Every structure is written in C-alpha cells, then in structure tokens.
Amino acid sequence: MKLFSYLILAVLLMAVGTPLVGAEETADPWGEPVATGIEYREYTLPDPVNVFVTRMERNNPQVILESSIGQGRLSGGGETVSGMAQRYDGALNYWDQAWGSTNQVAVAINGFYFGPPFEPAGVPWSGQVHSGWYSKRFTELESGSGLAWNLDRSLFIGECVSHPASKQQVHFYRLGSEFANLSFDAINIPRDDNEFILYTPQFDYDTGTSGSSEAIEVLVQLQRPSLIIPYSAMAAGEKGEVVKIRNSKGGTPIPFDHVVLSMHGTKKTEFLNKGVQVGDQVGISQKIKDCTNFPTNNWDYTYASIGGAFYFLKGGVIQDFSGDSQANVRDPRTAIAYNDDYIYFIVVDGRDELNSIGMTIPQLAQFARDELGATYGIAQDGGGSSTMVVNGEVKNNTYCNIVICKNRVFLPFVVKSGKDSQSDTAALPMNPSGLTGSNLTQPEPLSGDGLPLTEEYYIYAPDTTGDILQRLVANGMMMVVVQPKDQPNEPVFAVDDPIKTLTQVNVRLGPGTNYGLVDTVDADTTGKILGNDNGLNGIWAKGYYWWRVLLDLPGGVDIVGWVIEPALTLNTNLR
C-alpha cells in the first residue's frame, strides 16, 4: 500500500513539474537562482517530456534581453549557442544609452530559422536588432516579425511589417542645418547595381565590395547605434560624422561604432551631386510599419529582437494551428513567453522515446499558459537547434535532439565552462571562438537507428574531449545581467602618447575580442594613442582594458584599431 501511495505521489509531482534535482531550496520555490533576477527550473512531465525553463524579472533594472549573432556576423556565420554566450559575455553593450556597460550572459537559447531555402547558409530568415543596431530587416515571412525588447523595458511580439521607403533615410548636416538626404534601399545585404545599402558592424569585418565595382563608400562614426528612430526624434547630440569617403577602393572595414554608406551607379551619382564632405554630420532615420489589419506596435528604440514562428499565445488565448502539420508534430521546441511580471525562455527536448518525445505547438502553448502563467508566447527554431545554456553549461539533451535516440539511456552531456579562452596576445590562441578554418568541423556521419546525419547538421564540439554535440545556428536570445562601465580613475595612457607593443598582438575593430580582426602586429610596433569621440579609451571589456591606437607598419602603412592595455607601453624614446 505504501509503495502504491508513493507511486501516486510521484505521478502527481511529475504532472505539476518538479524543480531541478538537487537544487537548494530558496525563499521563492519556483526554481534555482542562477543570476540576479533570473531563475532556472526543469520540468519532468508525463509522456515523457523534459522541459527546461528560465524566467527573468521584467522590472528588475539589472537584467535585460539581448540578441546574439553566430560568429558576430550576419553575412553567413554559424556558431553554437554556448559559443555565442561566450562571445557576448563581458562584451560592451548600449543598455545605459551610452557604450561602456558590459554583459554578464546568464542564459542563452537558439534563435530563428536560418539558411536555405530562404537565405544563404548561416543567415537567419527574418530580421534582427542587436544592442540597438537594426542589423537585418524583418520580412513578412509567416506574418511574424518576432519578439522585440525596447530600451524602455517594454516588450511585444510583432506580426506582419513593412518598411516605407520614404522613412528609411540618411540626413546630412553642415553648420547645424540639414542640406541633403538620401533614401537607402536595405541593410546589411550584398549591394547590387544602382543600390544604396547601409552597413552596420553586425554585417561582417567589411562591406565585401569589389574594388572594381566603381562604388562609393562613406564611413560614418556614430555616437550611438543606428537604432530604429523616426526623423522627428533625432536630436543634435545623436548625429554622427563623415570620417572618410572612399571611391572605387573596395570593401570598407566597419569599426564597432561606425556605419558604411555604400552606393553604386545612379545612387552614387545622386550622392556626389549633394556635395557631402568629410566632417559633415549625419543622422539616420528608420521606421517599421505594421501591416494593415495587424495590431500597431511601437518599434522605436528597439534594443533586441529576432524573428519568430508560431505566435502561439496572444493575450492568454491559445492560437489555432490545427491545419499546420509542422505545428502538430512532437518535436524539440524553443520558445520565448512572457506576462506582466516575467519573461520565460523555454526549451523542450524531443526525439528520445525513453526520456523526452517533444511537444506540439498547442502543447507548448498550453504549458506556457497553464504552468508558467504566460499570456504571450512565440516559438523559435526547434529540432536539433533547440539548446539552452545557463552560466556556460548546456542544460538539455542536444545529442538526441540532433541524431534521434531510440532505446538508449540518456546520460547528461556537460560543457566544461572554464575560463574565457579568447586572448589577444601571441601566447594564447588568437580567435578560438571564431568558427573558421580548422575550427569548423563536419564530423563523420552519425545516425540514429539508420537516420543519416545530412549536411544540414553541422556540429561543433567545443573542446577536444567532445563532451557535447551542438548544432551551429545563426542567432539567438540571451538573458543578461548588466555590469557597470569600468574605466580607471588614473588611466595609464593619454591621447597622443607615443606607444609601442610589448608582444605580438591583435588589433581589433572595437574594444573586445568579440570584434573583428584588423591585423596582427609584431612586438615593438610603434604608434600613438588616438582619441575616441565616445569616451571609451581605457574601457574594460572581455577581461581587458582597451585603447584605440594608430600603429606604424613597415612600408609606411598605418592601421587604426583597438588593442589591449597589457600589450602596450609608453615609447620613452619619443617622449
């Protein structure tokens, strides 16, 4: 009789969800605290289904949402969720409406669909906003533009949107007055003939323009991310400055606080006729318009956003997907849901008949509403992409999500978090988190009871022990604890100080190892400290203090970029 009672109790506990086994009890019994304002919980449900959930306090000023980008570039990268979490942990953000505070990445999940048939490999199908930069335009795909988190902490899920051509403009100012404006055609896509494309730092290392294309490219330094902001809201202090005009000279590098205006053919001629000069001020206005018959959302000052599919929960009402075969398959799932108090990241394991068989979209919606109390929810990419990382550790069974497990006992896979292995000195690997060259691997074909591992399953093992399999994805979302801006009261260097390098060192496009590489220079390379209009010299990011420098290379070539403080010293021979 006692055994029967215990079994009944166990079934009841499974039905309502159980907290992480071994987690310490807290004042709030919902789950395990993993960071300021963020908790984690595992659910073991009948069928069986394993669900992994984090929740973030919406009104806690120390925590925010941020999007992530595979390899830091939207031109065709791919990276694991844990790799992206490491990439952006300790990196600069714009949350305080000035660059300088940094991310403590507590939770990361995978993002939206990517690659064929709609986009090149490693490119998300729909749009993205990253740290205030409108980096890729949303499309009308699946009538959904995804979840948006704004600088005022408001949150919504968009649907069908458009971009009125007359509201996407670059404005030019001289002596405080606007003298010209031009409409641009798109953001961060390869430029075609007679087009004007706006490139932000999220596109790639440079614009990728051919030197023979006869394009003109204008490098503009900004005082803030480009943002989604209407013309009427542009203030005098928010304008950038033209710092370089390059005519038919090929791809232009894109530093972290710059944009590039790339124009060809008729658009180039139109620009030249405006008489824009180096030193002119620049403002960028953009607008996202909701389609007719859809709710109107305010996209102005959106800080982080990615696309989504299956907008399954609206105002507490579960939506009808009965006619959608993809929605009614029990698969691994990833979703974001919220109510007035909390934001939830949800990952459901599947494809494992002994441990977790996955959920349909209606089941996911019911779980989000009835168990979590969410009122709105939208799904991300699922299947083998579904991954949750908490404080550097992969929590769910990505192995079975990828290869399909039958008649197997699940043994948890663990990622060794360790220290941030990124380094900018020659003594350590130059860019170990960048999945390029030998770091990007396609393993021997695996199978789950006869199912081949096809080309869509590119897996990256994050360490030499091969502890875990994760799919390379294009983007994701993160829960972040904001760390305050850190600059020393008594800086080591001042503007125009002569310096030299102490060791071979990387020169980067911004202050952080997450930014692209300009060049690698040898020890004893001389140069000087440059000013930075955004006041970031000596800023702490990714484990170092950083300085903007000009370095003299052999042959009279100069390069400009950001270098870590430990690799620099005053050049006393020139003082």
User: 176-180, 374-378, 416-420, 559-563: lowest mean pLDDT where?
Assistant: 416-420
- The span from the CA of 148 to the CA of 154, in Å, is 8
Name residues whose C-beta falls within 8 Å of residue 129's C-beta, 6 or more positions apart in sequence: 67, 135, 148, 228, 302, 303, 304, 305, 306
DSSP letter at 369 equals I
- The span from the CA of 260 to the CA of 279, in Å, is 15
With CA atoms as reference, report the closest residue to 391 among 373, 355, 416. Answer: 416
Cβ-count burial of 321 within 10 angstroms (0-12 exposed, 13-18 middle, 19+ buried)?
middle
In this predicted model, what pLDDT tens digit does every residue of 32-71 receive, in sequence order?
999 999 999 999 999 999 999 999 999 999 999 999 999 9
- The span from the CA of 43 to the CA of 453, in Å, is 29
Two tokens at 306?
A: 């990615």
Has residue 458 got a pLDDT over 90?
A: no
In this predicted model, what pLDDT tens digit does every residue of 340-389 receive, in sequence order?
999 999 999 999 999 999 999 999 999 999 999 999 999 999 999 999 99
Please compute the mean of the pLDDT values over residues 111-127 and round it to a whole number. Answer: 91
Cα-based distances in Å from 180 to 173, 176, 185, 237, 565: 7, 12, 17, 19, 41
Q: Are 477 and 148 in contact (CB under 8 A)?
A: no
Residue appearing with tokens 């949303």? 138
- What pLDDT sits at residue 478? 98
- The span from the CA of 79 to the CA of 440, in Å, is 9
Q: Which DSSP string do the residues of 265-276 spell out, in sequence order?
A: THHHHHHHHHT-
- What pLDDT sits at residue 235? 67
Confidence of residue 468 (pLDDT cuts 50, 70, 90): confident
Which helix (H) or strand (E) element contains residue 147?
strand 146-150
- The span from the CA of 303 to the CA of 396, in Å, is 28
- What pLDDT sits at residue 154? 97
Residue appearing with tokens 């008729």? 266
- What pLDDT sits at residue 575? 56
In this predicted model, what pLDDT tens digit does every residue of 208-235 receive, in sequence order?
987 667 899 999 999 999 999 988 887 6
Q: Are 86 and 392 in contact (CB under 8 A)?
A: yes
Amino acid symbol at 168: Q
CA atoms within 13 A on the CB side of 154: 10
DSSP letter at 516 equals P
Two tokens at 56?
A: 């973030």
User: 46-55, 93-102, 148-157, 404-413: lowest mean pLDDT where?
Assistant: 404-413
Name residues whose C-beta falls within 8 Å of residue 262's C-beta, 6 or more positions apart in sequence: 191, 196, 197, 198, 199, 207, 209, 215, 216, 217, 252
Q: Which DSSP string do the residues of 225-269 spell out, in sequence order?
A: ---S--GGG--GGG-EEEEEEEES--PPB--TTEEEEEE-THHHH
- The span from the CA of 35 to the CA of 54, in Å, is 11
Dihedral of the alpha carbons of 198, 199, 202, 206, in degrees to the nearest 10: 170
Q: Are 345 and 336 in contact (CB under 8 A)?
A: yes
Residues in the chain: 575
Has residue 472 got a pLDDT over 50?
A: yes
Please compute the mean of the pLDDT values over residues 171-194 and round it to a whole number. Answer: 95
**Burial call 411-428: b when 16+ CB within 10 Å, e when fewer:** eebebeeeebebbbbeee
Which helix (H) or strand (E) element contains residue 280?
none
- What pLDDT sits at residue 403? 84
The pLDDT mean for the chain works out to 85
In this predicted model, what pLDDT tens digit does every residue of 499-510 receive, in sequence order?
999 999 999 999
CA atoms within 13 A on the CB side of 548: 16
Amino acid symbol at 162: S
